Chain A
Amino acid sequence: MNFLRNQLDKVKHSFEKGGKLEKYYYAYEALDTFLFAPNTTNDSKGVQIRDAIDLKRLMMTVIVAMVPCLLFGIWNVGHQHFLAIGQAGATLGDKILVGSIQVLPIVVVSYGVGLGIEFVFAILRKHPVNEGFLVTGMLIPLVMPPDIPLWQVGVATAFAVVIGKEAFGGTGMNVVNIALTARAFLYFAYPTDISGGVWTYLGDSQAVAGYSGATALSIAGDSVTAGTNVLSSFSSFGAGWNEGVFSFSNLFLGLIPGSIGETSTLMCLIGAFVLIATGAGSWKLIVSVFGGAYAMGLFLNLIGGNAYMEMPAQYHLVIGGLAFGAVFMATDPVTATQTEAGKWVYGLLIGIFTVLIRVFNPAYPEGIMLAILLMNVFAPLIDYFVVGANKKRRLQRATV
């Protein structure tokens, strides 16, 4: 390691003030601090010792929490591919191979484009390269359909990083979740490429007879007009090529078509466990999103009225991207509410709005993306009231 250190030290002076590569200091700093934790010590005044945590480690913790979703997603892309082309007997290796070929390029494009923009902005704006994108760069592929053209991933990532983040001042300053901005961009800019049969990767193969690329959300939406029970629509779906694909256990385990990383509620819960155990994500946010969605589902059950409203509330928790959104998107510390009391309100409203949008808005089958983006915008307002209550307590104390 000494050799590496010596090489870095050798070139360091040309990046420092007065050096000929001074402009690129923060690019150098990013590499240097990636390879070596810096040798800086604390100032002579203030804390003399510091916690072993840093932003890189915190972000890595979140990435590790996403790994189960990613691995499962890779396998599931392959699994769904072979089901759809009528080769249910494909081996595990084949499924992983097909999934990797389809998914890994999306991950590479997302990281490449995003980090490239990060570095350019860091150099131009003269600020350090922040590690926040390490998480965003993983979130983006996980919310993409497996069949997405790579150029769209690149464009969406660029839009999200530039407009969603850098325009607001960079890491820590963005108002809306960056990964969801990328997804929403695709949703509105290329609607035909992110709806319909994109949820299963078919490749050049021919789909099996009777195959349909519908998702649980769209089936539930269609039951309203057809007037059929959602659960019986689920159980009759897939007859002939993938019988029982939308059983509750399949929905929970994630053996269904959908975005790469968000089909499996189980994998999201494993991620949630990692986030909560390590303290990297707020348990209040995760619990309140699930709680809000479940409560709203129950409430709609009570009212009844149409097939979707009568769908048992627990199904709302396992269909679509609710679990993924609750665990990885709602917990984004930058865009969520910052006060502890505010987190309950924020999470509950995300859950409630998700179910509302799903059930009552036929144009947008998936509610979680829009619900989180909406609440991102309202998070400062919630904080405003919580902080206001704190100020009021102080003021009342003074006047008594």
Chain B
Amino acid sequence: MGKFIRLKKGFTINLKGKAAPKVVEMEQPETFVIKPTDFQGLYIPKPVVNVGDTVKAGSPLFHDKKHDNVIYTSPVSGEVVEVKRGEKRKLLEIKILSDKTIEHLQFKKYSVSEIANLSVAAVKEQLLNSGIWPSLIQRPYGVIADPAGTPKAIHISAFDSHPLAPDYNILFKGQDQYFQIGVDVLKKLTSGAVHINTHASNEISTVFSQVKNAEVNKFSGQHPVGCVGVQIHHLDPINKGDIVWTINPLGVIQIGKLFANGIYDASRIVALVGSEVKNPQYYKTYTGASVKKFIENNLNNDHVRVISGNPLTGTTIGKEGYVGYFDHQISILPEGDYYEFIGWITPGARKVSFHRSLGLFSFLSPNKERVVDTNTHGEPRAFVQTGVFEQVTPMDVLPTQLIKSILAEDIDEMEALGIYEVIEEDFALCEFVDVSKHKVQEILRDGLELVRNS
């Protein structure tokens, strides 16, 4: 039996430009890119392809020098057209010119009864070879799962509460069968349960509600209720020495297809959202797609920021950029590089604020969708503890004290204060609401890396 957990703290940012419930199939982008920088915890990527090589969907592109069995594969079939390197020859991206029809590298197929009898070693091997393995994220640290580890549980968040987030019921519609197989396979990898965490007030797709062999839990509350770290904290918190894995439902479905059909199917639906998009809606494409075709002739104005992911944890990629490996969302927001005369005191309800300070009236109409630009709305200042971090952190973790212990590089203190339980997305709201405009997510990542490498 799953649990029902109500969260009281948090803040849902209501932005204009949510995707209409419509999935469009248009001509696919010509190029796709896999960026090693998307994968937290990837030590040194070693490419195994050169420019001019032809690849199939599921062919290896690079592997991790430290864990050489963790392979990163091509989402589409085609020709490698660029191996881009940065400073110190750091591998930045591998670009593939896609074929019109995708050819898949064939992996081993299993019937339902065969899957039931599969050994853990065989499961891991298949996952590693196909390149689906990197969709398994390990907590603590939020890094690519170590194939040698056995997690005490696997958690799947079945909804996204970030601003402008896509509706998972649309993303994964009709994939019930593959999701079930994926869950069955994952169950073999953990000593504990597979948790599927749904939102109580949303309509829950049968993909998640009918699943067997897993615990289906319900959550209610404001963002960050959809962040899997927050969910884990309330279901089965991570203690020192514990390993927990998390995976997006897409990864589960890909695992299902891998075992049932023997292919790495990197097709996915991404939501093109944001106030500057003419027709915010869903598009069918593949992992690592170029955003160019989606946004062409589809923007309200030209001075915009293109973000792979959501506005709280995403990455700016530019109009010629590519969607990140873990992202289901392209957010397009107006750039905020303008001065505002005495902008620090002008009253109004136009800008979004969690606060209710002098002249900030957005709290009066929380259901109104607002346009928010990328301006910092203020300048960096000394840290003033206003108690607001605590109001957006629905966990028994003290964000201010944890952040301070990281700044002091005190590893024992970080451990004691629960750094194992959080990653960037869990603290993204703290960064958003911060009066002094600190880079909370960056600080937290520095702390995580410090502990991980100690």
Interface residues of A (CB under 8 A from B): 1, 4-5, 29, 33-58, 60-61, 64, 127-128, 130-132, 170-173, 277-280, 282, 333-334, 338-340, 387, 390-391, 393-395, 397-398
- Contact between A340 and B387 (Cβ–Cβ < 8 Å)? yes
Interface residues of B (CB under 8 A from A): 13, 163, 237, 239-241, 305, 307, 311-316, 331, 333, 335-345, 351-360, 362, 372-388, 390, 396-398, 400-401, 416-418, 424, 428, 431-437, 439, 441-442
Chain A residue nearest in CB terms to B348? A52
Cross-chain contact of B358 among A44, A47, A278 (Cβ < 8 A): A278
Given contacts A39-B375, A128-B379, whether A52 and B356 have CB atoms under 8 Å apart is: no
Q: Within the assembled complex, what's the spacing in Å between the Cα atoms of A387 and B428?
A: 22
Chain A residue nearest in CB terms to B346? A37
18 new A-B contacts, CB < 8 A, other than A55-B436, A172-B385, A397-B239, are A35-B341, A36-B342, A41-B305, A41-B374, A45-B315, A49-B311, A49-B333, A49-B374, A50-B375, A52-B360, A56-B345, A57-B344, A57-B359, A61-B358, A334-B384, A338-B400, A339-B398, A393-B396
- Contact between B384 and A171 (Cβ–Cβ < 8 Å)? yes
* Nearest chain A CB to B139 CB, angstrom units: 15
Chain A residue nearest in CB terms to B37? A45
Q: Within the assembled complex, what's the spacing in Å between the Cα atoms of A57 and B356?
A: 10
Residues on the B chain within 8 Å of A1, using CB = 341
- Contact between B379 and A54 (Cβ–Cβ < 8 Å)? yes
Q: Within the assembled complex, what's the spacing in Å between the Cα atoms of A64 and B360?
A: 14
Residues on the A chain within 8 Å of B416, using CB = 391, 394-395
- Contact between B357 and A278 (Cβ–Cβ < 8 Å)? yes
Chain B residue nearest in CB terms to A395? B416
Given contacts A1-B341, A52-B360, whether A171 and B379 have CB atoms under 8 Å apart is: no
- Contact between B382 and A33 (Cβ–Cβ < 8 Å)? no
Residues on the B chain within 8 Å of A279, using CB = 355-357, 388
- Contact between B343 and A49 (Cβ–Cβ < 8 Å)? no
- Contact between A57 and B358 (Cβ–Cβ < 8 Å)? yes
Residues on the B chain within 8 Å of A41, using CB = 305, 335-337, 374-376
* Nearest chain A CB to B356 CB, angstrom units: 5
Given contacts A41-B336, A53-B355, A54-B344, whether A282 and B387 have CB atoms under 8 Å apart is: yes
- Contact between B375 and A54 (Cβ–Cβ < 8 Å)? no
Chain A residue nearest in CB terms to B355? A53
Chain A residue nearest in CB terms to B389? A338
- Offer 15 A-B interface pairs, CB within 8 angstroms, sorted by A: A37-B344, A48-B311, A49-B13, A50-B375, A51-B352, A52-B377, A53-B354, A55-B436, A60-B344, A60-B345, A60-B357, A131-B381, A172-B382, A338-B387, A390-B397
Interface of B (DSSP majority class) = loop
Chain A residue nearest in CB terms to B241? A398
- Contact between A36 and B340 (Cβ–Cβ < 8 Å)? yes
Q: Within the assembled complex, what's the spacing in Å between the Cα atoms of A169 and B434?
A: 21
Residues on the A chain within 8 Å of B377, using CB = 37, 50-54
Chain A residue nearest in CB terms to B360? A52
Q: List 3 tightest A-B contacts by C-beta distance, closest first.
A: A54-B378, A37-B343, A52-B351
- Contact between A55 and B237 (Cβ–Cβ < 8 Å)? no
* Nearest chain A CB to B439 CB, angstrom units: 6
Given contacts A57-B357, A57-B359, whether A37 and B13 have CB atoms under 8 Å apart is: no
* Nearest chain B CB to A9 CB, angstrom units: 9
* Nearest chain A CB to B440 CB, angstrom units: 8
Q: Within the assembled complex, what's the spacing in Å between the Cα atoms of A280 and B356?
A: 8
Q: Within the assembled complex, what's the spacing in Å between the Cα atoms of A15 and B340?
A: 21
Given contacts A48-B333, A51-B353, A51-B433, whether A40 and B358 have CB atoms under 8 Å apart is: no
Given contacts A36-B339, A49-B13, A49-B374, whether A44 and B316 have CB atoms under 8 Å apart is: yes
Cross-chain contact of A172 among B163, B237, B384, B442 (Cβ < 8 A): B384
- Contact between B305 and A277 (Cβ–Cβ < 8 Å)? no
Cross-chain contact of B431 among A47, A53, A395, A397 (Cβ < 8 A): A47
Chain B residue nearest in CB terms to A127? B382
Q: Within the assembled complex, what's the spacing in Å between the Cα atoms of A34 and B396?
A: 38
Residues on the B chain within 8 Å of A61, using CB = 357-358
- Contact between B384 and A51 (Cβ–Cβ < 8 Å)? no
Cross-chain contact of A390 among B341, B345, B362, B398 (Cβ < 8 A): B398
Chain A residue nearest in CB terms to B443? A46
Cross-chain contact of B354 among A51, A54, A393 (Cβ < 8 A): A51
Cross-chain contact of B378 among A35, A55, A173, A395 (Cβ < 8 A): A55
- Contact between A36 and B341 (Cβ–Cβ < 8 Å)? yes
Residues on the A chain within 8 Å of B311, using CB = 47-49
Residues on the B chain within 8 Å of A394, using CB = 237, 239, 396, 416-418
Residues on the B chain within 8 Å of A278, using CB = 355-358
* Nearest chain B CB to A399 CB, angstrom units: 8
Residues on the B chain within 8 Å of A36, using CB = 339-343
Q: Within the assembled complex, what's the spacing in Å between the Cα atoms of A257 and B388?
A: 38
* Nearest chain B CB to A7 CB, angstrom units: 12
- Contact between B417 and A391 (Cβ–Cβ < 8 Å)? yes
Residues on the A chain within 8 Å of B352, using CB = 49, 51-52
- Contact between A38 and B333 (Cβ–Cβ < 8 Å)? no
Residues on the B chain within 8 Å of A397, using CB = 237, 239
Residues on the A chain within 8 Å of B384, using CB = 55, 58, 132, 171-172, 333-334
Residues on the B chain within 8 Å of A58, using CB = 355, 357, 384, 386, 435
Cross-chain contact of A277 among B331, B354, B356, B385 (Cβ < 8 A): B356
* Nearest chain A CB to B358 CB, angstrom units: 4
Chain A residue nearest in CB terms to B390? A340
- Contact between B435 and A55 (Cβ–Cβ < 8 Å)? yes
Cross-chain contact of A128 among B339, B345, B376, B381 (Cβ < 8 A): B381
Residues on the B chain within 8 Å of A53, using CB = 353-355, 357, 360, 377-378, 433, 435
- Contact between A42 and B376 (Cβ–Cβ < 8 Å)? yes
Which of B313, B335, B341 has most chain A Cβ within 10 Å?
Answer: B341
* Nearest chain B CB to A361 CB, angstrom units: 31
Residues on the B chain within 8 Å of A282, using CB = 387
